[in-house]
Chain A
Amino acid sequence: MKQKLHLDRAHLLEQLKQMLRIRRFEEKCAELYSQEKIRGFLHLYIGEEAIAVGIMSTLKTKDNIVATYREHGHALARGLSMNSVLAEMYGRTNGCSRGRGGSMHIFDKSQNFYGGNAIVAGGLPIAVGLAMANKYQQNQAITVCFFGEGAVAEGEFHEAMNLAVLWQLPVLFVCENNRYAMGTALALSESETNIAKKASSYGMTAVQVDGMNVVDVEAASNKAVEQIRKTNQPYFLECQSYRFRGHSSFDGQLYRDKAEVKLWQEKGPVIRLIQWLKENNHLVETELSQIENEIKAEIQAAITFAEQGEWEPIADLSKDVYSPAIEAPHNVSQGEQ
């Protein structure tokens, strides 16, 4: 561990549990997908858990979160119930988006969780807009925007960077650099692969973090969030990470070496934390089993919840395209509705 923080054992165990929760959930999703319970696309967060867990633990409820289609981990870390997330992937009405969105469109307004976006870099301008509202309302809230390093190639990334700094908006940009944008390695798509450097060229504070180390991530995020709240300036965290599975379920991973994958797995966030805790006598085997069992039970309950969920009646197909009708504004002449 590089940094020593005021972290106690309880907190570390909590972080471990959160990461394991995500890990086991994602593994179960892979299995459910292979049995056609989950359909469409499935993008797993396995290997990257430290980023979501580390950052979410530094945020407040009033803060906004914008994420991508690889957002199950972020949703769980944020506090969306596993039940509602899984039911959403099952397409049932008891899912957080009433089953309308699926894996890529997890939304929960009560948690200020704004998705769940399937357009690469599409969430960045939206995050800047949310931050603009925060600033205007002077509510001390910030907006955190998660995206992969693949988004850096899109025009909207650069537009968002520019606007955030230009207008001094409270955004925390978190680039989860897992080195592969679907099947294209970073070096094959960026002339300048140092992403933090790109961000700082816009005048933004930009820091690189070991995304496999939940303690490092949390420490960096704490610092960033504090600065953003104080100065209303955006901040950029580039978290170096790796995804252990393919881009999505149907990925033969022809673009990378199995040896490379294995290497990263050995320094994965969960393993490393467990190792450290054990080495420092902060973790006993029985505690770990207990955590695993609790998670297993939670997952099983989520499966039951999802299986029992209802299918939305086809008669309601056109629901929620528009908001319910509103009162006419005062300008309209009487009787002319």
Chain B
Amino acid sequence: MLEDITMPSLGADMTDGTLNEWLVKEGDKVDVGDIIAVLETQKGAIDMEVYSAGTITEILVAPVAKVSVGTVLARLALTDTSSQAPLKKERTETLTTELKTSDVTKEGISQEVNTQDTHSQHDNSQEAGVNILTAQVESVQAEAMQTSRVLASPIVRRLAKEQQLDLAGIKGSGPQGAILLADLNAFLANDEHENISKTASSEQNMRQAIAAAMAKSKQEIPHFYISLAIDISAAQQWLQRHNKNKSPDERVLLLALLLKALAKSLLKYPQLNGFYQDASLPSSVFQGDVSQGEGFKQASAIHIGNVISLRQGGLLVPAIHDVDKLSVQEIMESLRDITQRSRTGHLRTSELTDASITVTNMGERGADSVFGVIYPPQVAILGFGKNKKELILANDKVTEVDKITACLSADHRVIDGMIAAKFLNYLSKQLQQPERL
């Protein structure tokens, strides 16, 4: 039986040793304890003994050579083969394996992370409107956490983040102008928070986000436009009656009626309520149905996004959920709520990312009509112009009516002109019977 003679470990930190000289040659007989070589170490020359009796069969390493501990230097044919099996020379596996396993686990985790990163990068390259809107929310939050401009104590930062407050609007009385708890409390006690001034970079972020979304939309979505002048006299009259004895913050505005009419119309023409799916879009965008392939994916609910201009510039497009299931009053309340929250920066991410169609109401701004840019992955956007009085000939009589122009921008990949026209007419009809909305 052959046994390996290896470079021994002679000390706790010894990783290699130098073979200086052999004192035996092939064919020599050796006994247990015989000195067979001389090793050179930092502590000087050390005799190397052999632990078994036998005959040297091979010398494998010639001096002078520096080798790692455990390297086979020579081989020995054992004379005594009876009782003693050669010692297992393999390193103790268990411990190393254990350590390796935990390394693998760590690697596994970091690989998971990497996968997620590449996934989201892929998404970003698609620039879904979803991510733009998310970015808008995040940039608002990021502002609150930004350290380079605003100094604030840790507790203030945490509370501001929790309440989605922009620290830039809070005056600090601490060292170097840091915002302290007392300052935050004073701020919150103050009801007038109209002018939460965003810092320049925040607005810039938003501008960039909007620009990106619009550019992508125009690049990829083949828009077509169709408009219809809608008689809203009945609707206006209904509003007058309804709002008669109501305080200003209870009054219903035309937009609420328009939204309800839109929702009803979408029930009839669901082709306009949904998303155009690229293969790479995250499935989270599509409520429920996650089938593969490109094309129109029906939205499972009617969430209408409302373009809200911010006073300091920029806009947000929060959605009102399930508009078809809300009463006009409820829609009005929602509108108030999201408008206010848009202005104070308190919107929820879900509100900004799950609209299935968007409405832009330019009536108050004085435009006759507005042909909006579709927010991908939606397939349509409906714009309303201002209320104009017209004289028309009806039943051979000249009457004054209120009219607004509804303009539909639609994705020609999935919607064609006929459907669009029918849709608008249906919408117009709904508005003729406001009490049934």
Chain A residues with CB under 8 Å of chain B are 27, 30-37, 39-41, 90, 249-252, 254, 293, 296-297, 300, 303, 307, 310-311, 314
In whole angstroms, what is the CA distance A90 to B87 when docked? 15
Contact A40 B44 (CB under 8 A): no
Contact A31 B51 (CB under 8 A): yes
Chain A neighbourhood of B11, CB < 8 A: 249-250
Given contacts A37-B92, A252-B41, A297-B83, 17 further A-B contacts (CB under 8 A): A31-B87, A33-B9, A34-B8, A34-B51, A35-B87, A36-B91, A40-B12, A41-B12, A249-B10, A249-B11, A250-B12, A250-B14, A250-B43, A296-B83, A310-B94, A311-B94, A311-B95
Contact A307 B98 (CB under 8 A): no
Q: Classify chain B: how many residues form its interface, as a range.
A: 20 to 34
Chain B residues with CB under 8 Å of chain A are 6, 8-12, 14, 33, 41, 43-46, 49, 51, 69-70, 83-84, 87-89, 91-92, 94-95, 98
Contact A300 B84 (CB under 8 A): yes
Determine how close the nearest CB of chain B comes to the CB of A4; give it in whole angstroms. 34
Known contacts: A31-B51, A293-B83. The answer to whether A36 contacts B69 by CB under 8 A is: yes
- Most chain A CB within 10 A, of B14, B44, B87, is at B87
Contact A39 B12 (CB under 8 A): yes
Determine how close the nearest CB of chain A comes to the CB of B437; give it in whole angstroms. 65
Nearest opposing residue in chain B for A296, CB measure: B83
Contact A34 B91 (CB under 8 A): no
- 15 residue pairs bridging A and B, Cβ less than 8 Å apart: A33-B8, A33-B10, A34-B8, A34-B10, A35-B89, A36-B91, A39-B12, A90-B92, A249-B10, A250-B11, A250-B14, A252-B41, A252-B44, A297-B83, A300-B83
In whole angstroms, what is the CA distance A307 to B94 when docked? 10
- Most chain A CB within 10 A, of B44, B70, B92, B94, is at B92
In whole angstroms, what is the CA distance A124 to B95 when docked? 37
In whole angstroms, what is the CA distance A300 to B88 when docked? 12
Known contacts: A250-B43, A252-B44. The answer to whether A35 contacts B6 by CB under 8 A is: yes
In whole angstroms, what is the CA distance A251 to B45 when docked? 9
Chain A neighbourhood of B14, CB < 8 A: 250
In whole angstroms, what is the CA distance A252 to B49 when docked? 13
Chain B neighbourhood of A37, CB < 8 A: 92
In whole angstroms, what is the CA distance A32 to B8 when docked? 9
Chain A neighbourhood of B45, CB < 8 A: 252
Determine how close the nearest CB of chain A comes to the CB of B425; give it in whole angstroms. 72
Contact B12 A311 (CB under 8 A): no
Contact B95 A36 (CB under 8 A): no
In whole angstroms, what is the CA distance A248 to B252 when docked? 94
Chain B neighbourhood of A250, CB < 8 A: 10-12, 14, 41, 43, 46
Contact A252 B46 (CB under 8 A): yes
Chain B neighbourhood of A252, CB < 8 A: 41, 43-46
In whole angstroms, what is the CA distance A293 to B6 when docked? 26
The 10 closest A-B pairs by CB, nearest first: A34-B8, A250-B11, A252-B44, A31-B51, A252-B43, A250-B10, A36-B9, A252-B46, A40-B12, A311-B95
Chain B neighbourhood of A293, CB < 8 A: 83
Chain A neighbourhood of B6, CB < 8 A: 34-35
Determine how close the nearest CB of chain A comes to the CB of B15; give it in whole angstroms. 10
- Most chain A CB within 10 A, of B11, B14, B89, B95, is at B11
Determine how close the nearest CB of chain A comes to the CB of B19; give it in whole angstroms. 14
Chain B neighbourhood of A35, CB < 8 A: 6, 8-9, 70, 87, 89
Chain B neighbourhood of A30, CB < 8 A: 49
Chain A neighbourhood of B89, CB < 8 A: 35
In whole angstroms, what is the CA distance A71 to B46 when docked? 24
Chain B neighbourhood of A296, CB < 8 A: 83-84
Chain B neighbourhood of A297, CB < 8 A: 83
Determine how close the nearest CB of chain A comes to the CB of B7; give it in whole angstroms. 9
Nearest opposing residue in chain B for A183, CB measure: B43
Nearest opposing residue in chain A for B9, CB measure: A36
Nearest opposing residue in chain A for B90, CB measure: A35
Determine how close the nearest CB of chain A comes to the CB of B430; give it in whole angstroms. 67
Determine how close the nearest CB of chain A comes to the CB of B38; give it in whole angstroms. 11
Contact B10 A36 (CB under 8 A): no
Chain B neighbourhood of A249, CB < 8 A: 10-11
Contact B88 A307 (CB under 8 A): yes
Chain A neighbourhood of B94, CB < 8 A: 310-311
Chain B neighbourhood of A300, CB < 8 A: 83-84
Determine how close the nearest CB of chain B comes to the CB of A50; give it in whole angstroms. 20
Determine how close the nearest CB of chain B comes to the CB of A47; give it in whole angstroms. 14
In whole angstroms, what is the CA distance A34 to B49 when docked? 10
Nearest opposing residue in chain A for B13, CB measure: A250
In whole angstroms, what is the CA distance A296 to B85 when docked? 11
Chain B neighbourhood of A36, CB < 8 A: 9, 69-70, 91
Nearest opposing residue in chain B for A40, CB measure: B12
Determine how close the nearest CB of chain B comes to the CB of A249; give it in whole angstroms. 5
Chain B neighbourhood of A251, CB < 8 A: 43
- Most chain A CB within 10 A, of B46, B69, B70, is at B46
Chain B neighbourhood of A33, CB < 8 A: 8-10
Determine how close the nearest CB of chain A comes to the CB of B153; give it in whole angstroms. 34
